[in-house]
Amino acid sequence: GAGVSQSPSNKVTEKGKDVELRCDPISGHTALYWYRQSLGQGLEFLIYFQGNSAPDKSGLPSDRFSAERTGGSVSTLTIQRTQQEDSAVYLCASSFGDRNFYGYTFGSGTRLTVV
Amino acid sequence: AQRVTQPEKLLSVFKGAPVELKCNYSYSGSPELFWYVQYSRQRLQLLLRHISRESIKGFTADLNKGETSFHLKKPFAQEEDSAMYYCALTNFGNEKLTFGTGTRLTIIP
């Protein structure tokens, strides 16, 4: 597609439920990133994919968080047993993943609210 | 560990006045620095990269390795500059960006 697409744009869920957030990167971008944006916390790195592999998942806050990427394209971030502190905007970004790094292209994010 | 510090959470500047958004970093290698901007109801977008030494929308940023700073500057602020600005850092050859906490810039008409 023309840009990075994320769905849903908003998600309200009850504490303890599981949620899935989807990211569709720019066609041809091999690298994909998930960040979390919280008020006053800036952008917190979660995980990075190169193709379908995740060489860096150091930012995942707990084992309730997992992510996968299939076909070198769409990625899904899953949060199990959601907690109120998981409320944030989850941003996905993609890039060409080669040595000429021009920066990321971001999606518009998924605003997750855990009640 | 690499770290980016933006000391000002909020900054208000009168239209036509100069703007400086501060960014300091800590990193032991050879960093690549970026500024990203998020306008109201829009997605985060790249404003400029230090390696390209360009001026975008009148903004410039110079990497000062001695002071480990990458401050964003504009000589004359415009109302449309009101936005959230993030400074970010990565290592050459590594695309994982570390972001600062951001500065919300408000231009007063």
pLDDT of residue B94: 67
Residue A108 has pLDDT above 90, yes or no: yes
Residue A35: how many other CB atoms lie within 10 Å: 24
> Long-range contacts of range A68-75, CB-CB < 8 Å, 24 or more positions apart?
A69/A32, A72/A30, A73/A24, A73/A25, A73/A27, A74/A22, A74/A23, A74/A24, A74/A25, A75/A22, A75/A23, A75/A25, A75/A32, A75/A34, A75/A49
Tens-place pLDDT, residues A60-105: 999 999 999 999 899 999 999 999 999 999 999 998 876 556 778 9
pLDDT tens digit sequence for A66-76: 999 999 899 99
Q: Could you tell me the pLDDT band of residue B93, with boundaries at 50, 70 and 90?
A: low
Instruction: For residue B31, give the DSSP letter.
Output: E
pLDDT in the model for residue B58: 92
- Whether the predicted pLDDT of A1 surpasses 60: no
Q: What is the pLDDT of residue B92?
A: 67
Going along A14-79, which residue ranges are E strands?
Answer: 19-24, 31-38, 42-50, 53-56, 65-69, 75-79
In this predicted structure, what is the pLDDT of residue A109? 96
Q: Choose the closest CB to A103 out of B34, B100, B102.
A: B34
Tell me the C-alpha distance between A107 and B93, whole Å. Answer: 23
From B95, B98, B102, residue closest to A101, measured CB to CB:
B95
Which of A90-99, B9-18, B31-40 shows the lowest per-residue confidence on average (mean pLDDT)? Answer: A90-99
Q: What is the pLDDT of residue A12?
A: 98
pLDDT at residue A100, rounded to an integer: 59
| Burial of residue A72 (number of CB atoms within 10 Å: 0-12, 13-18, 19+) | middle
* Mean pLDDT score of chain B: 91
Cα–Cα distance between A75 and A45 in angstroms, integer?
15
The reported pLDDT for the residue numbered B1 is 74
Rounded Cα gap, residues A35 and A63, in angstroms: 16
Which of these ranges, A6-10, A17-21, A26-30, has the smallest mean pLDDT? A26-30
Chain A segment 30-49 residues within 8 A of B by beta carbon are 31, 33, 35, 40-43, 45, 48
Please compute the mean of the pLDDT values over residues A18-29 and round it to a whole number.
95
> Residue A89 CA to chain centroid, in angstroms?
9
Tokens of A41: 């916390």
Residues A29-57: tens digit of each pLDDT: 999 999 999 877 789 999 999 999 998 89
Bridge partners of B64, per DSSP, are B69
Per-residue pLDDT at B59: 95
Residues from chain A contacting residue B86 (CB–CB below 8 Å): 42-43
Q: Distance (Å, rounded) from C-alpha A43 to C-alpha B84?
A: 12
pLDDT at B51: 79
Asked if residue B84 has pLDDT above 90, the reply is: yes
- Rounded mean pLDDT, B80-107: 90
Q: Within an 8 Å CB–CB cutoff, is residue A109 touching chain B?
A: yes
